[in-house]
Each structure stands twice: as structure tokens, then as C-alpha cells.
Amino acid sequence: MAVTVALGTATAGVAGATGDHRPDTRTLQRDADALLKQGAPGVLVELDTPRGDVRVRSGFGDVAAKTPVPWNARFRIGSFTKTYVSATVLQLVGEGKLSLDDSVERWLPGVVAGNGNDGNEITVRHLLQHTSGLHDYVGELTYLFDRDQFVQNRFVSHEAADLVALAMKHPPLFQPGEAGKWEYSNTNFQLAGMVIESVTGRSWQSEVRNRVVRPLGLRDTVLPGTSSAVPGPNAIGYQRFLVDQTRPELDESWTEAIDVTEHDPSWGGAAGDMISSTEDGNRFLRALVSGKVLRPAQLAEMQKTVSTNEGFQGAWPGARYGLGLMWVPNSCGGSWSHGGDIHGFKTRNGVSSDGSRSVVVSINTDSMVPERGTPPPAKDQTVDLIEHALCGTR
């Protein structure tokens, strides 16, 4: 068992352990500090290795009080939720309760229909792989992108079926499984959560909790449903909103940051509403790729990848997508990951293919605007940090 010792100050700190494959704490701290110039109020990073775990932090969890992000902070993980949901679906597949080749219509009759959408043509695999072609409902929730609307509607609750219905107002972007086509859509995982409920007769939250969270001892991981709070300890989640949607590169195009820590996350649901910690995120990732969550056949299915679109390639060059899990090339062979973005919080992570080394990054904003004079990154802001964490010292 790795021993972790806390050191540090209000603005930057390190907690670490030594041993073979010693983590490079100086580089990790430098990379965390660099995220402040890219617009992060505060940063918390945990790197787990076979011989030692290390945590670093930088900036503030509460900007007004100038206090750091708590070492054991909980935070919203956004779309990292998808990996937990996908693992739950694949457990059901391994038990013979459904098949990846089952149509959505079989489990959710009449739900995917209209405007050229056809649940008979979309399989469970298409949902988990983002190859269904379904429109993403999130764009229809305009209050998520406007400060005043968000403040007025932040505690509104949503049902998955209603969110899917928003997507059905639009034609598909492409035919399900069409060669060379891939588009990230939260609608896919709202449907995946609904499939879990249809197969089991229980909520997707209950199934994720009983199949993944409890068996792995993820004590900080919460499935909030419509609850608006982030259980402490936690950093404040800050958000800026675009004023001028056409010129996001200008500082004056963004509002001042507001506290968005509390809001009803049910608009994300099975696509992105969970809460966790860096410790739990690492434990889950390492257990998953080490075969402790899924049977070998289902883990192999999860790790069968397809090419992603230009947007993903721009943020993560060479990225490929499996079933609720992404493969990102790096200098030491590549890593498995799934980030998450939700109001107030940005989560990034990576785990080596053998599960021996993993890193989770939490930033307490999802609207990073670089400091004046700091060029915006050509890739996702955390690519270098994760590369150095997983490959810098072996």
C-alpha cells in the first residue's frame, strides 16, 4: 500500500511517497501551476503508481477566501460518468441479460422515432460507441449557455425520456454505424441509462452503485440524481459564460465567473451527473483496465476503438473511442481515459494499458479563459500534464 504525506501551502502543494518508479512531483507541480495561466481557479491532481502515489494542487478552491482545493475534494465528474454507465451495461452483457447487438427498439419501444430516427437500426453498441448518429439534446437546453438563464433555471429537474425527446426533433447526423462517421452525443448515454432500467427494472443509478461503486469501495463517489449539492469537502465550482458567441477568443466576450457549485445535474443524467474524487477516479480506472470490473470478453469489447472526429482529434491527437472509453496515444504506449465537463468542473484522467499507473485531474471551472497574453493551448489543456504523469518517470 502506498503511503501519502501532505505538504504544501494555500496556493500550491505536494503530497507524495517514494519507491521504485518514483513519481516526478516537480514536473507534476509545474504542470498544475501552468493550468492557472490557462484560466483554472484551482487544480487538484493525483497520480497513482505501483510504488507511490502523489497529489499536487495549485491555485484556489475558494478564490475569495484564497484557500486551496481540499486534498480529498469531491467534484462533479461530468462525462466521466459515461465510463461507469458503459461498464454497467457491459456487466449485463456478460451476464447474458442483453446483447451489444440488441436494437434500442427492443428495450425502449417507440422512444427513438420520428424525423428519420429509427430505434430498430440503432444498437446498444452504437450508443456506447457514439456511432448512432443521434442529435445531442444538450444544445436544446439554451439556459446552460447563458448566465442569466442559468441562474434562473439551475434547479430545474429533467427526465431522461424528455431529454431524448428533444433530440428526436432533429434528424440523425448520419446513419447508425455508417462507415467513417462518429459524433459525440449525450443522447446516446441517456438512452443507455434507460436501457439499464428496462433490462433490470431498477434505476441506472442503483445498478451503477451496486455493480461498480460499492464493490470497488468508492466511498467518495455519489450518484446525485436531482440533488443540487456537492457533498463536502469540495472546491467552489466557477463558471464564465460567453457574451459574444461569435468571438470567444476575446476576454470581453466572457462574463465574470460566478459560483455554480450547486445546481440540479439531472440534465446530464447517465451522460454526466456523477460526483467523485481523485482517489476514487484512479481506483476505478485501474480496476477497470486490470479486469476487476468486467469479464475479459466484455473488457475487450469496451477497448475496441473507432476513429473520432476532428474536434476530438484537435484536443487529443490520434484519439480513438471504444465503448464509453477513449484511447489516447502518448510517448509510452498510450492511455485509456474519459474526461468530463460540467458547469463548475473539468475532469481529465488517464490510465496505462496495464492499469499500473493512473492520474486524475480536477479543475474547478469548465470555462477556462487564458490570462491576458497567454496563448490558448493547441490541444486540451491537460495533455502535457497527463503525458508527463504517465510517461515522465517509469
Encode pLDDT of 13-68 as tens digits. Answer: 555 433 334 668 999 999 999 999 999 999 999 999 987 899 999 999 999 999 99
CB 306 within 8 A of CB 321: yes
Strands 345-352 and 340-342 come out as: antiparallel
Q: What is the DSSP string of 98-127?
A: --TTSBHHHHSTTTSEETTEETTT-BHHHH
When pLDDT is cut at 50, 70 and 90, the band that residue 307 belongs to is very high
What domains sit in the chain, N to C, each tagged with a CATH number?
5-42+52-391 (3.40.710.10)
CB 274 within 8 A of CB 72: no
Among the listed residues 79, 132, 185, 276, the single catalytic one is: 79
Q: Give the torsion sign (CA, 14, 20, 21, 26).
A: positive
Q: How many CB atoms lie within 10 A of CB 171?
A: 13
Average pLDDT on 172-192 reads 98
> Peptide bond before 233: cis, by omega within 30 degrees of 0?
yes
Furthest-apart CA pair in the chain: how many Å? 59
pLDDT digits (tens, 9 = 90+) for 135-149: 999 999 999 999 999
CB 284 within 8 A of CB 48: no
When pLDDT is cut at 50, 70 and 90, the band that residue 164 belongs to is very high
The reported pTM is 0.94
Q: Which residues of 307-339 are buried (b: 16+ CB within 10 A; e: fewer)?
A: ebeeebeebbeebbbbbbbbbbebeeebbbbbb
Phi, psi of 53 (to 5 degrees): -115, 150
Average pLDDT on 151-158 reads 98
Active site residue 203: no
